[in-house]
């Protein structure tokens, strides 16, 4: 099952997305909830979504809002792909490297990425996202698995000079209107076991090409670890890190520029397609 938050004339709406055999075809059915977080906060969210029979929309014309427009928490993991850790010159971590984003950083799957006027060192980072579907604290691996509502895609756009100003790099990670999330959540039963291909193309050139099998700490590991710190609640977003190939590590570096098109894909999960646009002040 695929679930999303879309923008309509009446405001945001949670929908079940039923794809057809034709590329870009299918129907989105409203669940009666304002957005995906509101849906997931219902104990019977899966049954409610499966039985949804509200107004329908053509998939081809959907205007995707950020998958979870206002999550309680956006928790991000740095240095969590073996290939990326090595390209950045670090040792594999013993514990997850954690930071956060704030909701104003989020944009929809096809929205513009705003390049801040204060920097010309804005980078791309393809990431697999885990969305929490039930509250969990001090989770066992089994409880962590059961708490996963599904998976989505995030581009952890990073302002590298701000990120590297101090040892705490949140300031480079949460610029406003910088972080695409979506287009939809895919429930675990829709996905095969094992690693999923993850990639970024920039103006048609492949920049990142890896597999989620390269993760140092997988989704279940992260939920176990994070839930020892804080209760994870429905709609919480965990961005699991990016593979090698980021622009900052290239020689010379390759950053986003005005008008560039970035496509971020996790096979079987979804694809973000965004234009980078300079901030207008």
Q: One digit per residue, pLDDT tens: the chain, 281 residues?
A: 999 999 999 999 999 999 987 777 999 999 999 999 999 999 999 999 999 999 999 999 999 999 999 999 999 999 899 888 887 788 889 999 999 999 999 999 999 999 999 999 999 999 999 999 999 999 999 999 999 999 999 999 999 999 999 999 999 999 999 999 999 999 999 999 889 999 999 999 999 999 999 999 999 999 999 999 999 999 999 999 999 999 999 999 999 999 999 999 999 999 999 999 999 98
Q: What is the pLDDT of residue 87?
A: 79
Alpha helices (H) along 150-275: 160-163, 219-227
Q: What is the pLDDT of residue 90?
A: 81
CA separation for the pair 87, 250 (Å, rounded): 9
Q: What is the pLDDT of residue 209?
A: 97
If asked whether residues 232 and 140 sit together in one domain, one would say: yes
DSSP state of 186: E
- Token pair of 84, please? 């990326």
Residue 51 sits in which domain range?
1-63
If asked whether residues 189 and 260 sit together in one domain, one would say: yes
CA separation for the pair 99, 121 (Å, rounded): 20
Contact 36, 181 (CB under 8 A): no
Provide the terminal-to-terminal Cα distance of the chain, rounded to the nearest Å.
Answer: 41
If asked whether residues 137 and 17 sit together in one domain, one would say: no
Sign for the pseudo-dihedral over CA of 8, 9, 13, 16:
negative
**Partners of 276 in the beta sheet?**
113
**What CATH number is attached to the domain comprising 174?**
3.90.850.10
Contact 18, 24 (CB under 8 A): no
User: Of 63, 86, 112, which marks where a domain is finished?
Assistant: 63
If asked whether residues 249 and 262 sit together in one domain, one would say: yes
User: Of 22, 40, 63, which marks where a domain is finished?
Assistant: 63
Q: What is the pLDDT of residue 219?
A: 98
If asked whether residues 58 and 165 sit together in one domain, one would say: no
If asked whether residues 81 and 55 sit together in one domain, one would say: no
Please give the order of strands across the beta sheet that includes 197-202. Answer: 113-115, 270-278, 261-266, 197-202, 205-211
Q: How many domains does the chain have?
A: 2
The DSSP-derived string for 10-32 is TEEEEEEEEE-SSTT-EEEEE-S
Query: Tokens 């929205």, residue?
Result: 111
If asked whether residues 37 and 72 sit together in one domain, one would say: no
Record the pTM.
0.96
- Token pair of 156, please? 């952890």
If asked whether residues 235 and 175 sit together in one domain, one would say: yes
If asked whether residues 160 and 229 sit together in one domain, one would say: yes
If asked whether residues 107 and 78 sit together in one domain, one would say: yes
If asked whether residues 28 and 158 sit together in one domain, one would say: no
If asked whether residues 44 and 82 sit together in one domain, one would say: no
Burial 219-255 (b: 16+ CB within 10 A, else e): bbbbbbbbbeeeebbbbbbbbbbbbbbbbbeeeeebb
User: Of 42, 63, 84, which marks where a domain is finished?
Assistant: 63
Label residue 109 exposed, middle or buried (CB < 10 Å: 0-12, 13-18, 19+): buried
Whether omega for the bond prior to residue 127 falls within 30 degrees of 0, making it cis, is no
């Amino acid at each position: 099952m695929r679930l999303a938050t879309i923008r309509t004339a009446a405001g945001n709406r949670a929908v079940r997305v039923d794809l057809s055999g034709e590329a870009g075809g299918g129907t989105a059915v409203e669940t009666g909830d304002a957005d995906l977080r509101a849906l997931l906060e219902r104990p019977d969210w899966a049954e409610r979504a499966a039985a949804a029979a509200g107004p329908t929309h053509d998939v081809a014309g959907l205007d995707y809002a950020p998958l979870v427009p206002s999550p309680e928490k956006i928790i991000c993991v740095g240095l969590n792909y073996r290939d990326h850790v090595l390209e950045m010159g670090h040792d594999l971590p013993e514990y997850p490297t954690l930071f956060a984003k704030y909701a104003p950083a989020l944009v929809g799957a096809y929205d513009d990425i705003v390049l801040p006027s204060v920097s010309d060192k804005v980078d791309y980072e393809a990431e697999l996202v885990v969305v929490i579907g039930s509250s969990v604290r001090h989770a066992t691996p089994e409880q962590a698995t059961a708490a996963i509502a599904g998976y989505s895609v995030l581009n952890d756009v990073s302002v590298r000079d701000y990120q590297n100003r101090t040892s705490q790099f949140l300031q480079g990670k949460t610029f406003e209107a910088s972080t695409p999330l979506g287009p939809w959540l895919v429930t675990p039963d829709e996905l095969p076991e094992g690693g999923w291909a993850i990639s970024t193309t920039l103006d048609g050139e492949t920049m990142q090409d890896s597999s989620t099998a390269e993760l140092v700490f997988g989704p279940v590991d992260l939920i176990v670890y994070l839930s020892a710190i804080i209760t994870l609640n429905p709609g919480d977003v965990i961005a699991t890190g990016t593979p090698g190939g980021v622009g900052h590590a290239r020689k010379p570096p390759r950053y986003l520029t005005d008008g560039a098109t970035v496509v971020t894909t996790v096979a079987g999960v979804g694809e973000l397609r965004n234009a980078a646009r300079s901030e207008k002040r």
